[in-house]
Amino acid sequence: MSKRIVVDPITRIEGHLRAEVIVNDDGVVEDAFVSSTLWRGLEVIAKGRDPRNVPLIMQRICGVCTYQHYLNSTKAVEDALSIKIPYNAELVRSLMKIALMIHDHVVHFYHLHGVDWIDIPSALKADPKKASELAFKYTNSPIATGTDVLKRAQEKVAKLANSSQGLGPFANAYWGHKTYRLTPEQNLIGLSHYLKALEVQRIAAKMMAIFGGKNPHPQSLVVGGVTCIMDILDPTRTTEYMDNLKVLEDFVLHAYYPDIKMAAQMYKDEPSVVKPIGVKNFMTTSDIMLSRDEELFKTKGYILDGDLSKVYEIDEDKITEEATHSWYEDDEPQHPYDGTTEPKYTGFVNGESVGPDGKMTHSENIDAKGKYSWIKAPRYDGKAMEVGPLADILVGYADNNKIIVHAVNEFLKETGLPKEALFTTLGRTAARAIHAKIIAQNAMKTFHALIENTKVDEETCAPYIIDKDKEYKGRGMGLAPRGMLSHWIRIKNGVCENYQAVVPSTWNASPEDATGQKGPYEADLIGLKIQDLTQPLEIIRIIHSYDPCIACAVHVMDTKGNTLSQYKVNPLSNGVCDA
Ligand code: NFE
Ligand code: MG
């Protein structure tokens, strides 16, 4: 008899996501549904606002890819008003993106997804000396793997384990699960890098703040360019960026990437991560300016059904979002310029699912026949698409982007994996490290281009006017850490008339559409064998490989419109807020 497993929340950090799977008697997933249980409605808030303010509001979609919505929203307004921004502004925006990308990739692997691969308590059993020697197998210049550093990492976790809080941030996981494949020594290397990555992510955040004023939510972009001219022209600021970039590059090349090689070698026979993925259509767009004529990810295109022999050009008119199974009024596919976002919450239905003791228990379940998620279903020409680092890598590979081809071939050679392994969960997690490596190795080109250009040109902002008698429309497209992101604006009477953001996690976490076609998360779960129904680590590992960001995907409110909380700020109270 089939059984239902509910995993909720799948991520606590980036908004609420729920997965429900139906398994057969062999523990194999026969059907899967993924639901975002959170709605924010930022696209609705944009309406009627001055287009120059909209990017600042859109930035609040997410504090993780914290710069990305600000940037793409700014680009959308610039596209609508036909503004060409100065080269310096392009380069600075690119440098901020580079910092964001590496920040996000490192945080994803170590702090959000790494513990799906690295069994932390197992690291306490490791011999630090052996682990220290082992680290040289994966890189000639390992980081944070000296015997003393590894011993200290063990001591830190042992102290947590013996404290009243249990394992602290490492509590509540499926430690010891049969599908963990690393040895204690390998787990210890991963643990040490987890701790080191906390420092590295802080450095990356500082880099964004050098040109952005602060992080999260940098403040230096305006429609027309950037405002950080004094930082661009100050050698102490630019040198600080450069020095920090070297730290990031070092960590990516000598910790993150080697750890992924280690994981790839050890997990290549673990069926749950090498199961072929469900949606084999991948889409990406060009991004990351290196210089006036060079972009790192050059291709704006897509591949279909895993076929690496043909790259298709994107026709933006074919991008739609529909809501047959999403909690919005209009079911029909809509182009984002004309997209609507009218909430229509229908809730969950009574049912049962496997409880923590393995017995069936009453639960509120997803209404698979009706509406079941706040996430819409984006489609390209009616097709579901995966976006993200794996898509960027695969489409670039298919398009013969030399940098990408070299990086992918090197990874396959170093790990002994076949090309097909890219089309798996393991491939998706590896692609993100390859992405980080490619960015880290090329970022200095953008930096030098900025230094050279500021010797002859100090422009950072282009003038423009908004004619209230004219109607405009424009979109900002680019790569966010989780994939292709687009913001779409219509301007009328000098204000935003309509706004839609079609976000990476929306593409990937999409529910079914009217034809029954599933989005990547759902399709990926089907066929998955779960070893222990009370410990569905395999589900979590697959979903985390996409790095779901539900704050982004549905852009908080109580569904009944109730006030959640009220804040009274007293400006004379030395910064203390009364909640
Ligand atoms: Ni909130 Fe985001 C990214 C965007 S969502 S993290 O990357 O855009 O997918
Ligand atoms: Mg949207």
Q: Which residue has the higher pLDDT, 245 or 552?
A: 245
> Which listed residue (108, 325, 482, 490) is catalytic?
482
Q: Kindly write down the DSSP assignment for every residue of 33-91, as one continuous string.
A: EEEE-----HHHHHTTS-TTTHHHHHGGG-SSSTTHHHHHHHHHHHHHTTPPPPHHHHH
| 215-241 pLDDT per residue, tens | 999 999 999 999 999 999 999 999 999
> Which atom of ligand 1 is least distant from the CA of 485?
8
Known catalytic membership, residue 505: yes
Ligand 1 site-directed mutation target among 547, 549, 556, most atoms within 8 Å of CB: 549
pTM over 0.85: yes
Assess if residue 489 is contained within a domain.
yes
pLDDT for res 111: 93
Alpha-helical regions (H) of 180-274: 184-212, 229-232, 235-251, 257-267, 271-274
> Which listed residue (73, 192, 505, 545) is catalytic?
505
Assess if residue 416 is contained within a domain.
yes
482 close to ligand 1 (CB < 6 Angstrom): yes
Assess if residue 563 is contained within a domain.
no
503 close to ligand 1 (CB < 6 Angstrom): yes
pLDDT tier for residue 569 given thresholds of 50, 70 and 90:
very low
Known catalytic membership, residue 69: yes
Known catalytic membership, residue 577: no
Q: Tell me the average pLDDT of the chain.
A: 94
Domain count, the chain: 1
Assess if residue 544 is contained within a domain.
yes
Assess if residue 571 is contained within a domain.
no
Known catalytic membership, residue 65: yes
Task: Provide mean pLDDT across the span 497-516.
Answer: 97
Ligand 1 site-directed mutation target among 482, 521, 544, 550, most atoms within 8 Å of CB: 482
pLDDT tier for residue 573 given thresholds of 50, 70 and 90:
very low
pLDDT tier for residue 12 given thresholds of 50, 70 and 90:
low
> Which atom of ligand 1 is least distant from the CA of 62?
1
SS3 sequence of 110-168: HHHHHHHCCCHHHHCCCCHHHHHHHHHHCCCCCCCCCHHHHHHHHHHHHHHHCECCECH
Q: Using CA atoms, how far apart are residues 228 and 38, in angstroms rounded to an integer?
A: 35
**Strand 282-284 relative to strand 301-303, pairing:** antiparallel
Helix (H, G, I), strand (E, B) or coil at 100: helix
pLDDT for res 241: 98
552 close to ligand 1 (CB < 6 Angstrom): yes
User: Dihedral angle at the C-alpha atoms of 51, 55, 57, 58, nearest 10 degrees?
Assistant: 120
pLDDT tier for residue 13 given thresholds of 50, 70 and 90:
low
Cβ–Cβ < 8 Å for 511, 326: yes
CATH number of the domain encompassing residue 458: 1.10.645.10
In sequence order, the 6+-apart residues with CB closer than 8 A to the CB of 190 are 114, 117, 118, 123, 182, 259, 262
pLDDT tier for residue 49 given thresholds of 50, 70 and 90:
very high
pLDDT tier for residue 506 given thresholds of 50, 70 and 90:
very high
Taking 50 as the threshold, does the pLDDT of residue 556 lie above it? no
Name the residue at shortest CA distance from atom 6 of ligand 1: 65
Question: Could you tell me the distance, in angstroms and rounded to a whole number, from the CA of residue 321 to the centre of ligand 2?
Answer: 8
Assess if residue 508 is contained within a domain.
yes
Known catalytic membership, residue 228: no
pLDDT for res 550: 82
Q: Using CA atoms, how far apart are residues 401 and 388, in angstroms rounded to an integer?
A: 17
505 close to ligand 1 (CB < 6 Angstrom): yes
> Which atom of ligand 1 is least distant from the CA of 72?
8
Question: Could you tell me the distance, in angstroms and rounded to a whole number, from the CA of residue 548 to the centre of ligand 1?
Answer: 8
Q: Using CA atoms, how far apart are residues 432 and 260, in angstroms rounded to an integer?
A: 9
Known catalytic membership, residue 4: no
432 close to ligand 1 (CB < 6 Angstrom): no
| 516-532 pLDDT per residue, tens | 999 999 999 999 999 99
Taking 90 as the threshold, does the pLDDT of residue 563 lie above it? no
Assess if residue 560 is contained within a domain.
no
Range of the domain at 483: 3-553
Assess if residue 561 is contained within a domain.
no
